[in-house]
Structure formats: C-alpha cells, structure tokens
Amino acid sequence: MKKQILFWSMMVWTLSVGLPSFAQTVEDFEPSEVNQPGRIYPQVNSERRVRVQISAPEAKKVQLDLGGVKYDLVKDEKGVWIGESAPQQEGFHYYQLNVDGASVPDPSTIYFYGAGRWGSGIEIPAHDADFYALKDIPHGLLSEMNYYSDLTKTWRRCFIYTPAEYNDNKEKRYPVLYLQHGSFEDETGWGRQGKANLILDNLIAARKAVPMLVVMDNGYATKSGEKSPSGASIFEEVLMNEVIPMIDIKFRTLSNRENRAIAGLSMGANQTMRIAMNHPDNFAYYGGFSGTSNYPSIEPLDATIFLDGKFKSGKAVNAQFKVFFLGLGTAEPHPFPGVVKAFRQMLDKQGIKYTYYESPDTAHEWLTWRRALNEFAQLIFK
Amino acid sequence: MKKQILFWSMMVWTLSVGLPSFAQTVEDFEPSEVNQPGRIYPQVNSERRVRVQISAPEAKKVQLDLGGVKYDLVKDEKGVWIGESAPQQEGFHYYQLNVDGASVPDPSTIYFYGAGRWGSGIEIPAHDADFYALKDIPHGLLSEMNYYSDLTKTWRRCFIYTPAEYNDNKEKRYPVLYLQHGSFEDETGWGRQGKANLILDNLIAARKAVPMLVVMDNGYATKSGEKSPSGASIFEEVLMNEVIPMIDIKFRTLSNRENRAIAGLSMGANQTMRIAMNHPDNFAYYGGFSGTSNYPSIEPLDATIFLDGKFKSGKAVNAQFKVFFLGLGTAEPHPFPGVVKAFRQMLDKQGIKYTYYESPDTAHEWLTWRRALNEFAQLIFK
C-alpha cells in the first residue's frame, strides 16, 4: 500500500514536472455523460477542460481537435496518449481526434451528426442543466418515421416527439411544433444533442408548456435529378405539401394555424422564417434561434424589399403571429450578432412585436438552442 | 479528354503494377449503403471485398480490421491510404480501422453498437436483400422510450415498433413480440443493423405476417448496487415486472399469452428461452436465433435436469408453445452448431415439435438473424 502511494506520488510529480500543460489543471475530472457504456474517457473537470485518452502505440503525433484548436496529447510508456483542452464553454461540443494526420472520431464517445459528419461529442455540464435532465416524470416517445418524397424522389426520415399523455388520451388532439436543425446537421440533431424530447417532457410535467407534438425533419431537400446539395432547396415544398399533410393524417393533431408553430436554429431559423412568412394561413408561432433570413448580411434592412416586403406591414405581421421569438447566445461569433441585430432593428422600425431571448455565455452551439427551445416552448399554444 | 483517358489508363496501370493486392480484384466497387451522407468510401465489389480509404499523411501503418483479419492499406503520394479485404460473407459486418496502433471507427460510415462499442459497419449486399429493403409501402414507427427501472435503479431505454396501421385504427389491439439482442450489443441493434422494422413492414404489407408490435429492450440488467456487468442478471425480472406491464399500459396490446411472443439472438436466445420456460402463462411463441440455453456446452442434454426439468414433459411443452422456432446460420463457428444440435437432439428425444430454419452461408452475424426473424414473424399469432 505504501509502495502504491509512493508510486502514485512519483507519477503525479513526474506528470506535473514533465508536462507543463497539466500543471495548472484541477484534477477533478469526471467521465463525460455522452461516453460509450463503460468508458471512463473523455472526461471533463470543474474548469470545463476536456481530457481525452487513446491507445496508439505506434503514432508519432496525436491531437484533440476541439473548438477550432488542436491540442497535442502526450504518450505514456504503454503507448497511451492523454491530454486536455483549454476551458470550454458550457454545453455540447463536437470534436474529433487526429492520429498522425487522420481525423477520426474518438472511439470512446457516442456519435452525433454535425459539422457534416457523424463524429464525437462532449458534454460540459451546464449550471442550468436541470431543464434538459432525464427525470423521474412521465416521458414521451421519440419516433422515427421513414417516408418517400415524391418531390425529391428519395426516401426521407423525420422524428416525431409525442408527449407522455398522447398514448393515454386516445381521442385528444394536439398542437404541433415543426422544429428544424442547422447547416451540416440533420433530422437527428434535435432529438440527440438538442434534447428536445427531454426539454418538452420536463416543461409538460411542470405544466410550463402545453402537451404538443414536435416534428423534426431534414432541412436538406433538392429536386429529383439534382443530386448535388447545392441544388435549389425545395424543403419548403416538402414540408408544406408532404410532411405536414402526412403528420396530420398519421397523428392526432390540431391542424389549424393557431395550433401550428415553426422554429429552427441557424440555417433552420432562416428557412422556417421564410416558410412562416410565405404561409401566413399555416403558422401562428415562429421561433428563430441564432438566425434570421437576412443571414449573412449585417446591413440595415429595408422592409419594403426584404423577403419581398413580407415585413412591410407591421400590423399584418403582428396579426399573423401570436408569438414571434428570436434567440441568440451572447458569445456567438460574427456575423450572427450583427445579422440578428439588423433584423431586430427592422422589426422595431416596423412596430413588430417580438420576444427576444439571450442565452448567457454560449456561442453558436447546442446549449444556446436548448435554452431557446425551452423559452419558446413555454410561450406557444397558449 | 484524350489526356484524361491517358491519365486514368496510366493510373490504372500504376495501381495494377504497383500494388499487387489489387491485381486480382474486380474493379466494380460501389459505396456501401451504410456510408455517411456523401461519402464514397468504404466500397464493396461483386466479389464481396471491402475497400476502405482514409487520409492519414503522417501515419506509418494503417489497417482494415474486419472479420478477425487485419489488412494492410497502402499510402498514395497525397497521404491517402487505401486497400481492401478478402471476399466476405453476405450481410452486415462490424469493422474498425487501425491507424498506427489506434483502433478507431472509419470516419466515413455511420455507427452501430456491437462488439461492445459504437463502431463502423459495412453492408455486403445479400442476394435476398429484398425482404429487408426500404420499399414504397406503408411504414411503421420505431419509437424510443426512456423508463426508470426500480429494480436496477437506473434509466433504461427500449424501442417499440408499431405497424403502419397502428395510428389509423384507434381501437384495434395488437399482439406483441419481445425481441432481444446478443452479447456486447444493445437495444439499438434490432432496429438499426437488424432492420426489424423494415422486415416487419414488408411482411405486413405482403400479408405474410399479422400486424404486431415489436419491443426491443436492453438485455443487460443488474441489481441496484451491483455496478459490474458481471453482476447477476435480473433482466428476467425487469422484463416481466416492469417492461411488459409498461408496454401493456402505454400501447394497445393484446395481453394474453396467445398474443405474446418472445425471441432473441445468441445471448438473447438463451435469455428468452429461460424466460419463456419460467413463465408458461405468458408466452405461446418462442424464437431462438443462433443460441439455446445449453450454451456453450455441446454435450448431450438430460431433459430431467436441464433448466430444472422444464423440457421433461414433451407433452407439456407442446401444449405451451404454438410455435417453438430455432434458427442457425450454416457457416456459424464453434460452438454454436454443436450447442444447437445437442439441444435439438433433446427436443427430438422428448417428442417436442419445433421449426428449424437454416440461413445459408451466414455466420454468427446479422444476416442470419434478419432471415430468422423474417421466418419466425410469419409463423406467429396465426
């Protein structure tokens, strides 16, 4: 036992002397909550540093690639590489490992679709994580549905959240929120890293939100024949002509405008704003999280020409929307703050009422969007 | 144009001369169907070889680790490694890449839980793939449900397949198949690599199977406080006392024994056989795919002592089961053929009727189990 203590003391000493980057690191790391079952790495400490570990005995250089920075790992005598990042912001971040030039997922995490790939994720516990925690309350279902699109001539998939009571009340009909992901993400985002189902479960159990369905589709849709993702998007047509009618048939929905909301994050905010403005008979609620349709411009907007003058009549827009919601993280990078500011200035000028929510200390990432959804969902269908 | 052809001719010549392993390979590779969106590698050819590609400019050695064999890849002048495997069996296989000693998922595939990890998969198109193909027929939902187990004191998750008509017929009640994964797999296996939902969609649309629910839970369950997975399994208690009652409340089920089936693969076959035999009042149908409860023994079984004599009375067993089904791949490794043979010999000796299905040319892998489910599902609830 004494020998062991001596061994560990020397190890710690060796590490603190040999690896300067460890010197100032608080040694209270805990496994990340999105690790694969039984994996103790990656870990996060109270400073919000991420420590990763991977066995790569013959590698020359291994790095942690997180938040646009590549951190060198250090190899031990058994060929195991270890190292950590600078402190990160609270919430969920995508990351990869780099092994001798190969950018690969960390084999110890579960995987998420973002940044145009299925890759690793890390969860930095947030001080307000309670609102999306898995609690002992009734839970809804997150259901995967395959459907064939006649417009794109491809198989597509959407996810549908049904609240816990949906299966209990066989006759009751429910309002529906259509909720979209951002660029280089897909229909899985809101249900995995977005935790939309848990956010709704918690709000509904606390009676802070009314029971509702949430439909999460894929925002990428191009016309049949145009294989490139750069083909003109027909997501609006797919949503309006295929998805909404299908959901209204398959589920017990309330299908009037007063019971239909639409929201999205980043690219999805841009898309859903256009859709909401083009279909005033279909949506009475709009939520734009970290994005507006003037993206990427930060120039002042002329309401007479922006979106074909859809915001020209403040009175008409105020009559259309029971809730017009905008959310943004206070740490978002250029151009998002400027884009949203320019859009808000136009709204103010037109006398358009809206709710503005700022997520403290979060960037263009999922904690901003979880919080924005948490706020938005409490306002709609009331 | 001519220049391009010359370039490619020389490329092919260079490859065929420079890389002997390519020499005998048929160059009709196509991207695997489980690649990430837009990825052209990994690929499979008509010989059922798997070709992978990964950029790793500074690596010394990169290998494809598939089916227990590590195949060396070859680096081109841009630092991209490429190479292929020997011909594989039809169906789905797990694999990894090895970059300078680091075993990592291929960053180009989607990921599956098997072999105790989330990792890469490859689909070798099967000659009979039509029975699990995604077709333009009505599709059911695959729904994810979180539940808290009082027995394990942990959050658990199950998936529930509901047939396409479930949401249309608001009063109709349905029989339920409880379907379990194998060792080092989890509740996601049957719905992802197992394609249980597509198999049922196709059978139900063709009226070869009756519309049914399929519930897929996690077969690992240990008593609260016993954190090690080696703790005694209480999956039987979780299934009987928590999952089945929950499903019967949450869904429109037919909850008598004539409308409840139980099946599993490998470890799941072993588990579900014990459960079926311990609860004769609860199940009228059993399916064991690539496994029986005498595993891993291939010794002759004594019906008076095996499973506490549960198979002693052939008459009682015949009265209990409307269908007792066993499935096995003809290419399964030791000990599975011997295990199942010993069990069948006991059934024969006891005069117990059963259906035996052999999957041609498949090993202890998912194509065996897809086929077995396809056969079994046609027999039950009729």
CATH of residue B283's domain is 3.40.50.1820
Residues A268 and A353 in one domain: yes
> Across-strand partners of A326?
A288, A356
Residues A264 and A180 in one domain: yes
Q: Do A139 and B145 touch (CB under 8 A)?
A: yes
pLDDT at site B10: 45
Q: Do A99 and B134 touch (CB under 8 A)?
A: no
Residue A231 has pLDDT above 80, yes or no: no
Over range B229-235, report the average pLDDT. Answer: 77
Contact A44, A32 (CB under 8 A): yes
Over range A117-139, report the average pLDDT. Answer: 97
Distances (CA, A) of B370 to B91, B129, B213: 9, 10, 17
For A144, the closest chain B residue by CA position comes to B142
CATH of residue B66's domain is 2.60.40.10
Confirm whether A9 is domain-assigned: no
Residues A119 and A209 in one domain: no
pLDDT tens digits, one per residue of B124-177: 999 999 999 999 999 999 999 999 999 999 999 999 999 999 998 889 999 999
pLDDT cut 70: percent of chain A above it: 92
pLDDT cut 90: percent of chain A above it: 90
Q: Single out the residue of A96, A116, A91 nearest to residue A331, CA to CA.
A: A91
Residues B137 and B61 in one domain: no
Contact B146, B155 (CB under 8 A): yes
Over range A193-219, report the average pLDDT. Answer: 98
pLDDT at site A170: 83
B74 at interface of A, judged by CB pairs closer than 8 A: no
pLDDT at site B168: 87
Domain end residue (candidates: B86, B102, B125): B125
pLDDT tens digits, one per residue of B274-299: 999 999 999 999 999 999 999 999 99
Residue B5 has pLDDT above 80, yes or no: no
A58 at interface of B, judged by CB pairs closer than 8 A: yes
Instruction: Give me the helix-helix angle, A366-379 and A196-205, nearest 10°.
Output: 40
Over range B65-76, report the average pLDDT. Answer: 97
Of B119, B139, B250, the CB nearest to A167: B250
Query: With bands split at pLDDT 50, 70 and 90, how would you rate the model's confidence at B227?
Result: low
Distances (CA, A) of A13 to A22, A30, A43, A49, A157: 11, 21, 21, 21, 54
Strands A117-124 and A111-114: antiparallel
Domain end residue (candidates: A90, A125, A160): A125
Over range B27-43, report the average pLDDT. Answer: 97
Question: How crowded is residue B254: how many other Cβ atoms within 10 Å of its Cβ?
Answer: 17
pLDDT at site B11: 45
Residue A11 has pLDDT above 50, yes or no: no
For B161, the closest chain A residue by CA position comes to A143
Over range B297-304, report the average pLDDT. Answer: 97
Residues A197 and A329 in one domain: yes
Cα-Cα end-to-end distance for chain A = 64
Q: Single out the residue of A242, A325, A252, A249 nearest to residue A283, CA to CA.
A: A325
Contact A128, A219 (CB under 8 A): no
Task: Tell me phi and psi for residue B274, to 5 degrees.
Answer: -60, -45
Of A55, A105, A136, the CB nearest to B105: A105
Q: Do B104 and A100 touch (CB under 8 A)?
A: no
Torsion of CA B266, B267, B269, B272, to 10 degrees: -170
Of the candidate ranges A197-206, A247-256, B21-30, B154-163, the one whose mean pLDDT is the lowest:
B21-30
Contact A48, A90 (CB under 8 A): yes
For A110, the closest chain B residue by CA position comes to B118
Q: What residue has token string 């066993």?
A: B326
Confirm whether A336 is domain-assigned: yes
- According to DSSP, residue A165 is labeled G
pTM assigned to the model = 0.92
Residues A49 and A164 in one domain: no
**Dihedral of CA B184/B187/B193/B194: which sign?**
positive
B79 at interface of A, judged by CB pairs closer than 8 A: yes
pLDDT tens digits, one per residue of B178-223: 999 999 999 999 999 999 999 999 999 999 999 999 999 999 999 8
Of B56, B117, B139, the CB nearest to A102: B56
Domain end residue (candidates: B125, B153, B171): B125
Residues A272 and A361 in one domain: yes
Domain limits for position B300: 130-377
Task: Tell me phi and psi for residue A360, to 5 degrees.
Answer: -70, 130
Q: Which residues of A touch B139 (CB under 8 A)?
A: 145-147
Residues A217 and A346 in one domain: yes
pLDDT tens digits, one per residue of A71-114: 999 999 999 999 999 999 999 999 999 999 999 999 999 999 99
Over range B36-58, report the average pLDDT. Answer: 97
Q: Single out the residue of B212, B209, B231, B210 nearest to residue B222, CA to CA.
A: B231
How large is the greatest C-alpha to C-alpha distance in chain B, in angstroms?
79
Q: Which residues of A touch B229 (CB under 8 A)?
A: 38
Half-sphere exposure of B13 (CA within 13 A, CB side): 6
Residue A341 has pLDDT above 90, yes or no: yes
Distances (CA, A) of B282 to A37, B252, B259, B275, B368: 32, 17, 9, 9, 27
Predicted complex ipTM: 0.91
Residues A243 and A114 in one domain: no
pLDDT at site A18: 41
- The DSSP annotation for A275-325 comes to HHHH-TTT-SEEEEES--TTTT--SPP-TTTGGGGTTS-HHHHHHH-SEEE
Q: Which residues of B touch A38 (CB under 8 A)?
A: 116, 229
Confirm whether B190 is domain-assigned: yes
B185 at interface of A, judged by CB pairs closer than 8 A: no
Residue B13 has pLDDT above 90, yes or no: no
pLDDT at site B2: 44
Which positions ≥6 away from A40 have C-beta within 8 Å? A31
Confirm whether B15 is domain-assigned: no
CA–CA gap between residue A112 and residue A95 (Å, rounded): 10
Confirm whether A269 is domain-assigned: yes
Q: Single out the residue of B116, B70, B115, B122 nearest to residue B93, CA to CA.
A: B122
Residue B49 has pLDDT above 80, yes or no: yes
Residues A241 and A104 in one domain: no
Residues B58 and B157 in one domain: no
pLDDT at site A267: 97
pLDDT tens digits, one per residue of B307-360: 999 999 999 999 999 999 999 999 999 999 999 999 999 999 999 999 999 999
pLDDT tens digits, one per residue of B255-274: 999 999 999 999 999 999 99
| Helix or strand holding residue A342 (H, E) | helix A336-350
Query: With bands split at pLDDT 50, 70 and 90, how would you rate the model's confidence at B61?
Result: very high
pLDDT at site A224: 76
pLDDT at site A10: 45
Torsion of CA B319, B347, B353, B372, to 10 degrees: 110
Give residue B302's Cα distance to chain centre: 31
- How far A144 CA lies from chain B's nearest CA (Å)? 5
Residues B233 and B357 in one domain: yes
Confirm whether A360 is domain-assigned: yes
**Dihedral of CA B289/B293/B295/B299: which sign?**
negative
B184 at interface of A, judged by CB pairs closer than 8 A: no
CA–CA gap between residue B227 and residue B186 (Å, rounded): 17
Confirm whether B357 is domain-assigned: yes
pLDDT at site B115: 94
Q: How many domains does chain A have?
A: 2
Structure-token pair, residue B364 = 């202890």
Confirm whether A221 is domain-assigned: yes
CA–CA gap between residue B250 and residue A121 (Å, rounded): 33
Taking one residue from A and the other from B, the number of pairs with CB-CB distance under 8 angstroms is 130
